[in-house]
A and B are shown apart, each in its own frame.
Chain A
Amino acid sequence: MTTTEVTPAAKNTVQADRIRRVALTLAAPLLAIVISLVITSLVLVSTGTPAFHTFKIMLDYAAQPRTTTLIINSAVTYYFAALAVAVGFRMNLFNIGVDGQYRLAAMLAASVGGAVTLPAPLHVSLIIGVAALVGAMWAGIAGLLKVYRGVSEVISTIMLNFIATGLVAYLLAPGRLAVTTTGSNNIGTKEIPPSGRVPGIDLIPGSPLQVYGLLVLAIAAGFAYWFLIERTRFGFELRATGLNEAAAVASGVNVKRMVLVSMLISGGVAGLVGMPQLLGSSYNYSLDFPAGLGFTGIAIALLGRNTAIGVAIGALLFGFLDNSSQILDLEGVAKEIVLITQGVIVLSVVVAYEIVRRYRIIAQQRDVGRSLAQPQQPVVAEGVTP
């Protein structure tokens, strides 16, 4: 019978640790953003451009209602991509294949959506359902290969990206799934009728553009992600597998099943990446549908530390950089500078997290050492006496 009373000293330690943890968690991304700003400034100055002025132009441009809308719209798309990557990352699974998954999913969903006419809610759900299903299936191939044949998902998803590129190019031809758009030489899938479209939201006052209606779905996906990871048994097992696979196996987690299921979830979310644009503005999948969003998603997931909130902030930051840089060309600055900023952010954020992690371990060890060094004899005796 031992009634373990938490001693005031221990309570202080726990509290100090918690405060420190929060501070350090925020420190890493902030440090990364500062580093990338410094490096970006250095690059700008070295090419003879005043750095501060450039940032000011970008911020001013971003504050215009039209640009703000575009930033949010980009962020919605990026958010899905980053969530898809984050699901895998939480259990050390690298889904490099989000890129192929969303392109194949968007293309097939667009053709299905263009082929049928249904009542509005049903039509939209059908398109989104098809997209999620295709994405999940495509990612599932990598999952199956990993579980049953021991093939690294990094390599298989990269290969699947290329195969998806080939498949999309094959299917997106007149006579197969594509039609020629009148008045241009761009080819795309048949346009989705109005019943399959998602109306925009007038979120930003004074903007000529509307925010994608699927912003709502993105927010819902964020909540679902947070709930799944932090509040369910599945999420617990997922995190446990990611932190220490051997320990997870020992406590009865079926890692093979986890790999397969999380790959399917990741692919399903990846399937949604193309949806905001498809259902909100382009209404068909054509040759100029954006590519490479999967890699942006990886960067944002790393930046946001795989949490629902962090990823949202990262998506907005990338959306800001991508859209507000459009003004730079008019000012005679190469807008590609933001690509450097993005690359440096990602690299410095992972290094910063690693440094913070090591610092935290050292700090914890020091705390433990200090509390053990204090004469604790009477305290322990008190705690143990029945």
Chain B
Amino acid sequence: MSTSTQTGTSDAGHTPDEDPALARRRAVTNKRYRLLIAVALGLVALSAVRVFSGAGDLTSGGTIGAALSLAVPIGMAGLGGLWAERAGVVNIGLEGMMILGTFGAGWIGWQHGPWLGVLAAIVFGTLGGLVHSIATVSFGVDHIVSGVAINILGLGVTQFLASVLLEGTPGGGESQSPRIPPLPTVSIPGLNDLLLPLEKHGWFLISDLAGIVRGLTTNVSVLTLVAVGLVIATYYVLWQTPFGLRLRSCGEDPYAAESLGVRVYLHKHIAVLVSGALAGFAGAYLAIVAAGIYREGQTGGRGYIGLAAMIFGNWRPGGLVAGAGLFGYTDAMQLRNAEAVHALLLVVALILAGVAIASVIRRRFVSAVISTVIGILMVVWYARTDALPDQITFMTPYITTLLVLALASQRLRMPKADGLVYRRGGSR
């Protein structure tokens, strides 16, 4: 980071007018390259471990496909969190709104088909968002307090409605709905037949790539495509339109925004409503695509994980997708294959080795030593055991989040006025 800024300032002598934009562009390209290199190195590490340990499920199409469908609800909840927090409202009520969404999808979905189910889930989630926005924006209640209340309320309303509306339905009961008709899935024609043999060969890197591409292109639910579209749309709306700029300005400094004539209350309300709608959509995905029914306790804290993925991704859509992907991947590993999970220890060790080398180059010896020691411990752990207990895998995403927060909290930058109560005409 620091080197790229320095190049920028040395250019300043020649073209003072163009300089800031140029330096910024250079920093962005630099960052993109770095990201690509990191992804490529991660892939190589994964592939090497797969060849070494023989745990084919590490990058099989099946695992990747499962990871994708597990990542979508987390990512959508996180996207909901992103909208709210970019406008300065912390939305810890995502979990409750998601629960409302699962019920809406189940209740309407089994009677009127999956698409109306999705719509109902979005409406239910938005209603949850409405409560949150009235409490936090109109009444100035503390955001965390209101969010916790909505989680309690969302659960209560759902359980009550389920016991009233789903009791006695064919195949359903007070804690689950009848089956929802499935949504269509799409595949890129021909690709599966082409890639499957490649994947089966077990070649270094080539088979892994084949597996990943196959997982991402075969039997993908249409809702997954909608979700991808929503991420892109969010990026576009929030970062490329005047409306998005205004919305984000409410999250950075509402009083400055107010002085420029931005209608802060309006933007915050919209942001929280969209947030609820996205959480509801996440619930619909869980109920319709992942399970095929509404089931009590289906969300399993994914609203919170979505929030964690958003923080992990530094309040940016791209980072959020990476975070959701990571959580989805560990989830999928845990569900699919104990042997592959065990091999993940080696992957972590390799990544730590990379971190250690990078630290030595940057003359950060303490962090190099710490990474090396932990890496060696991982290798020892791998060598001494045959399998990793399920519960340890279950904890992985949460420990990762804690570590990321603990180690990189200085690099994370949340919207400046995030979580602060704003009153029109007030002051900081």
Contacts and interface: CB of A to CB of B under 8 A. Distances in A.
B92 A350 contact: no
Interface of B: 90, 92, 131, 135, 139-142, 144-146, 148-157, 159-160, 162-164, 167, 174, 301, 304-305, 307-308, 311, 389, 391-392, 394-395, 397-399, 401-402, 405-407, 409-410
Q: Closest 10 A-B residue pairs measured CB to CB?
A: A339-B156, A343-B153, A166-B395, A170-B391, A334-B163, A336-B160, A336-B159, A347-B149, A162-B398, A346-B149
Contacts of A166: 391-392, 394-395, 398
B135 A169 contact: no
A331 to B, nearest CB: 13
A295 B146 CA distance: 13
Given A155-B311, A159-B402, A166-B392, A299 B149 contact: yes
Contacts of B391: 166-167, 169-170
Nearest to A169: B391
Nearest to B142: A350
Given A145-B406, A167-B391, A350-B146, A159 B398 contact: yes
B160 A295 contact: no
Given A163-B399, A337-B160, A354-B141, A343 B405 contact: no
Contacts of A343: 149-150, 152-157
Contacts of A96: 92, 144, 148
Given A155-B307, A299-B149, A339-B159, A351 B392 contact: no
Contacts of B307: 155, 158
B146 A342 contact: no
A162 B151 contact: no
Given A302-B145, A346-B152, A339 B402 contact: no
A375 interface: no
A370 interface: no
Interface in A139-168: 145, 149-151, 154-156, 158-160, 162-163, 165-167
Contacts of A145: 402, 405-406
A155 B152 contact: no
Given A156-B405, A302-B145, 11 more contacts: A149-B407, A155-B405, A163-B395, A166-B392, A298-B148, A299-B148, A342-B152, A343-B154, A350-B142, A350-B146, A354-B139
B140 A354 contact: yes
A298 B399 CA distance: 24
Contacts of A338: 156
A179 interface: no
A47 B164 CA distance: 8
Contacts of A339: 152, 155-157, 159-160
B304 A158 contact: yes
B152 A299 contact: yes
A149 B392 CA distance: 25
A150 B145 contact: no
B308 A155 contact: yes
B149 A350 contact: yes
Given A151-B409, A295-B148, A351-B141, A344 B392 contact: no
A318 to B, nearest CB: 11
A162 B142 contact: no
Contacts of A158: 304, 307-308
Contacts of A47: 164
B406 A151 contact: yes
A357 to B, nearest CB: 9
A94 B144 contact: yes
Contact of B394 (A169, A302, A336): A169
Contacts of A317: none
A43 interface: yes
A122 interface: no
Interface string A17-31: 000000000000000
A340 B162 CA distance: 13
A248 to B, nearest CB: 18
Contacts of B162: 336
A355 interface: yes
Contacts of A160: 398, 402
Contacts of B90: 154
Nearest to B141: A350
Contacts of A149: 405-407, 409
Contacts of A341: 156
Contacts of B150: 343, 347
Contacts of A165: 394
Contacts of B301: 162
A162 B163 CA distance: 28
Nearest to A49: B164
9 contacts: A155-B401, A160-B398, A163-B395, A166-B395, A302-B145, A342-B152, A346-B149, A347-B149, A350-B149
A145 B154 CA distance: 30
A156 B307 CA distance: 11
B243 to A, nearest CB: 28
A305 B150 CA distance: 18
Given A166-B395, A350-B146, A334 B402 contact: no
A343 B150 CA distance: 7
A93 B307 CA distance: 19
A165 B297 CA distance: 15
A162 B394 CA distance: 9
Contacts of A150: 409-410
Contacts of B392: 166, 170
Contacts of B157: 339-340, 343
A156 B149 contact: no
